[in-house]
């Protein structure tokens, strides 16, 4: 029996900016349903690797494949349609709109047909899209916020609403850039429960994160980068005892 193909695979990927080699011959894969943390010290190349999966950057060398398909040179928009969703470090919701309006904007843009695009969404309160959006909020215990203005909500709630936005279109891979940054312990716990619910739904997660406690709680597997190269991978509980990792990263943290 052959092992199932990974959902995401980077093979021998390199990227330079000017003369600076930011990613060097990087290979790793993410199995379907797995939660993988991409970790490493500041400037290790985590965000650059992440951006080559979402399509912000194209590698100089190597391939990125998703669901068995070569996406190395594919435009970001097409990657989103294939099921690659992303949440950003700074939540990108419109402050002057309500939660459901924010989520509806995404649905609205996806809708086919000029008439749909020209229909002001505030005029369609019982539209199927609103019902879908409210159901998605309810599923994550956020239904009470549907009519609240985003600007009035605590940061932790906004962050989770952004996750609802990112997964509304049925993503199979969700990429999170420092999801725990700026959250207090209670908010981090709520975020963890939210991500566990997404995992239970079969969504694969790729997470760039500095908070090692959070990584240890949520990730099945970590890939450690240093100076653009992979220096270790495996469960955090194993990797954190690796002497190369300790020197490069965890050692630096422990020394702090």
| Of 31, 21, 5, 27, residue with least CA distance to 206 | 31
Q: Is residue 107 at the binding interface for ligand ATP, with CB under 6 A as the rule?
A: no
Q: What region, left, alpha or beta, does residue 153 occupy, with left being phi > 0 and alpha being psi -120 to 50 degrees? A: beta
Closer to ligand ATP at the Cβ: 48 or 98? Answer: 48
Helix axes 99-110, 155-167, angle to 10 degrees: 20
Instruction: Tell me which residue of 33, 30, 37, 8 sits closest to 204, measured CA to CA.
Output: 33
What's the min distance (Å) between Cβ of 53 and ligand ATP? 12
Question: Taking each helix axis from N to C terminus, what angle separates 128-139 and 99-110, rounded to the nearest 10 degrees?
Answer: 120
- Give the contact letters, 45-84, x = binds to ligand ATP (CB under 6 A), - = no: xxxx------------------------------------
Residue 128, burial from CB neighbour count under 10 angstroms (0-12, 13-18, 19+)? exposed
Q: Does 243 bind ligand ATP (CB under 6 A)?
A: no
Nearest to 50 by CA among 207, 251, 162: 207
- 98 secondary structure, DSSP code: B
Of the pair 46, 194, the CB lying nearest ligand ATP is at 46
How many of the chain's residues bind ligand ATP (CB under 6 A)? 11
Spatial contact of 225 and 44, defined as CB atoms under 8 Å apart: yes
Q: Which of residues 146-165 bind ligand ATP (CB under 6 A)?
A: none
Contact string 3-42 vs ligand ATP (x = CB under 6 A): --------------x--x-x-----------------x-x
Q: Which of 30, 44, 137, 161 binds ligand ATP (CB under 6 A)?
A: 44
Smallest separation, CB 57 to ligand ATP (Å): 8
Nearer to ligand ATP, 99 or 223 (CB): 223
Whose Cβ is closer to ligand ATP: residue 156's or residue 228's?
A: 228
> DSSP string spanning 201-213?
TT-EEEEE-S-HH
Residues near ligand ATP, by CB under 6 A = 17, 20, 22, 40, 42-48
């Amino acid at each position: 029996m052959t092992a199932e193909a990974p959902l995401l695979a980077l093979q021998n990927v390199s990227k330079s900016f000017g003369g600076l080699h930011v990613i060097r011959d990087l290979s790793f894969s993410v199995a379907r349903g797995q939660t993988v943390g991409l970790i490493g010290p500041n400037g290790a190349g985590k965000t650059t690797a992440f951006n080559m999966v979402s399509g912000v950057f194209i590698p100089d060398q190597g391939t990125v494949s998703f669901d068995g398909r070569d996406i190395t040179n594919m435009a970001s928009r097409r990657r989103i349609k294939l099921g690659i969703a992303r949440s950003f470090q700074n939540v990108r919701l419109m402050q002057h709109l309500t939660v459901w309006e924010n989520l509806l904007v995404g649905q609205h843009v996806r809708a086919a047909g000029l008439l749909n695009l020209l229909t002001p969404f505030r005029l369609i309160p019982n539209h199927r899209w609103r019902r879908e959006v409210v159901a998605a909020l309810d599923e994550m215990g956020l239904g009470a916020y549907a009519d609240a203005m985003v600007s009035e909500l605590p940061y932790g709630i906004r962050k989770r609403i952004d996750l609802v936005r990112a997964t509304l279109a049925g993503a199979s891979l969700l990429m999170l850039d420092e999801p725990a940054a700026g959250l207090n312990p209670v908010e981090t716990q709520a975020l963890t429960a939210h991500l566990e619910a997404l995992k239970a739904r079969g969504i694969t997660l790729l997470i760039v994160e500095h908070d090692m406690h959070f990584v240890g709680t949520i990730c099945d597997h970590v890939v450690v980068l240093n100076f653009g190269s992979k220096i270790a991978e495996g469960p955090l509980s194993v990797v954190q005892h690796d002497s190369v990792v300790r020197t490069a990263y965890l050692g630096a943290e422990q020394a702090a």
